[in-house]
Amino acid sequence: MLRSLKRKQAKKKTGLGQKTIRSASQNLPLAQAYQLALKHFAAGQLLVAEDICRRIVSLDPGQAETYCLSAVVARLLGKEDEGLALIKKAILADPALAEAHYNLGIILVMRGLIEEALASFAQALALKPDYAEAYSNKLLVSHYLPSAAPAEIKAEHLGFAARFEAPLKPLWLAHANARYPERRLKIGYLSPDFCQHSVAFFIEPILAHHDRAQVEIFCYYNHTFQDAVTRRIMDSVDHFLPCREMPDDQLAARIRADGIDILVDLAGHFSDNRLPMLARKPAPIQVTWIGYPNTTGLTAIDYRLTDAQADPEGKTEQWHSETLVRLPGCFLCYAPPDNSPDVSALPAGKAGRITFASFNNLTKINAQVVRVWAEILHRLPTARLLIKGSIAIDQNLQERVLQMFAEQGLARDRLALAQRTASFSEHLELYGEVDIALDTFPYNGATTTCEALWMGVPVVALAGEAHAGRVGVSLLSAAGLGEMIAADEEEYLRIAVQLATDQLRLAELRKTMRARLRNSPLTEARGFTRTLEKEYRAMWRRFCEQNPGGAAAKIASELGG
């Protein structure tokens, strides 16, 4: 969104008017003040950006872009109601501002209003057909709809490729990479999440265990934020390049110049992705993995890493533009957090009742999920349900969640809604109040499932049709907990209820879960990385066999070599 606003502002020949605002002991024209707000926003100085925006609109209430930026800042500060009011002011000031409709969609997603959010993204695309971020969010959010069929979702992804990749394909260049099947490979990882983020739990152990005699590792970081995780990753790889501000053509050229043999995308259609850059095919082999539960739709992406549980052979190939490469066991390798709290005793023993919980993204809690969870509580009259998401739960969101359960006949005192915790350690400690975790469907959890298991809490999952609904199957199978996987809603109910009525089993699971996870393939980073490197080598050998010197020889000939 920020990049979109900067581009739009740069194209304007006139500023925001002749009024001025006092900032940093100077009177600034409003156009310069807005640019200053953008600068502070990009630096993460949200309160400063918020203050400047507030002063701009106090002088000129018609500034749609300023309202739009203010709404984003408010949302990031956890002020959801204020963000919604501000984005509505932006649309009122300029109904043709695509970024305003896009950001309205983001806010609606966070409130669980998926159909309305999709309509906002569609409006943004109608106003700005080349708005790749809006298209990607539309694709991502479609996975939250239980009614969305895999074939329909694939068709939408192919629509993205037709719009953003097809015009670039005639411009693809030959790759000069030397076609030696057994040479040391240059592997590039591209992500906006080389920081304290769920993706980092799964990629950091791989980066730390790569065999440097076989591979040279490049990380392209599409963000500006840095923390302890970022610094650890920087220390563990050969090359680390922040690239958020690099235009697509420039970044593609840099990746070519680096001689990357295999470029691995870790974002898919999630926010801050670089799919339009990947559509330029900067590396001879391109792979997508971890961050996104579906196809990218791009023919420029050759492979998608998965496993036989998340994508059963012969069942899901038709929903992908990439060739599926199924890793043995689970397609993920989890690094448990350092300094994790100890696993607590079973809370039901002290509380005298079972506490179910979901710490998943609240947008994954749909009417179908609510109906099944409410039925579990109806069958267990003393049990309660604890819900915690990754965002602040304001009054409107709380009322919406409570109302969904009330419509299923569940009293409010059977539910507890936990606010976002101040620290990650406090987040993990909250599992000390949980006896059983309930996974969402048709969009499963991933990091939350691993966290729950690490904190001694068993997870009940429902196996879905496509990858997004089968991640729980993969994780629980890898952890040796196949008995927690349900084939249908009735079995999901039965597993949850039977588990809740067997506190001896719950206590034993809690006592042994962390050791079980430590000894499972899910956390065996060294072995996982060796297997991954074998797959990379197989991809490269296949490429060399199918392209024996072709591009390199052609380029050498053109250069007179």
Q: What is the pLDDT of residues 95-140, one digit of tens each?
A: 999 999 999 999 999 888 999 999 999 999 999 999 999 999 999 9
The answer, yes or no, to whether residue 11 has pLDDT greater than 70, is no
Q: What single letter denotes the amino acid at residue 179?
A: R
pLDDT digits (tens, 9 = 90+) for 248-258: 999 999 999 99
- pLDDT tier at 223, thresholds 50, 70, 90: very high
Residue 270: the pLDDT is 96
pLDDT digits (tens, 9 = 90+) for 238-249: 999 999 999 999
Looking at per-residue pLDDT, the higher value among 112 and 392 belongs to 112
DSSP single-letter state for residue 23? E
What span, in angstroms and rounded, lies between the C-alpha atoms of 49 and 43?
Answer: 10
Sequence-ordered alpha helix ranges (H) in 326-429: 347-351, 367-379, 395-406, 424-429
Domain ranges of the chain: 2-134, 180-333+526-549, 347-521
Mean local confidence (pLDDT), 273-285: 98
- Helices (H), strands (E): how many in the chain? 23, 15
180-333+526-549 maps to which CATH number?
A: 3.40.50.11380
Q: Which fold has domain 2-134?
A: 1.25.40
What span, in angstroms and rounded, lies between the C-alpha atoms of 306 and 215?
Answer: 21
CATH superfamily, domain 347-521, is: Glycogen Phosphorylase B; (3.40.50.2000)
What span, in angstroms and rounded, lies between the C-alpha atoms of 528 and 305?
Answer: 13
User: What percent of the chain has a predicted confidence (pLDDT) above 90?
Assistant: 84
Strands (E), 266-328: 285-288, 303-307, 323-327
Residue 21: the pLDDT is 52
- pLDDT tier at 393, thresholds 50, 70, 90: low
Are 273 and 247 spatial neighbours (Cβ–Cβ below 8 Å)? Answer: no
The answer, yes or no, to whether residue 263 has pLDDT greater than 50, is yes
User: What percent of the chain has a predicted confidence (pLDDT) above 70?
Assistant: 92
Residue 443: the pLDDT is 96
Mean local confidence (pLDDT), 209-223: 97
Topology alike, domains 2-134 and 180-333+526-549: no
pTM (predicted TM-score): 0.91
Q: Which of 150, 164, 405 is nearest to 269 (CA)?
A: 164
What string of DSSP letters covers 161-220? HHHHTTTTGGG---------TTSPEEEEEEES-SSSSHHHHHHHHHHHH--TTTEEEEEE
pLDDT digits (tens, 9 = 90+) for 430-470: 999 999 999 999 999 999 999 999 999 999 999 999 999 99
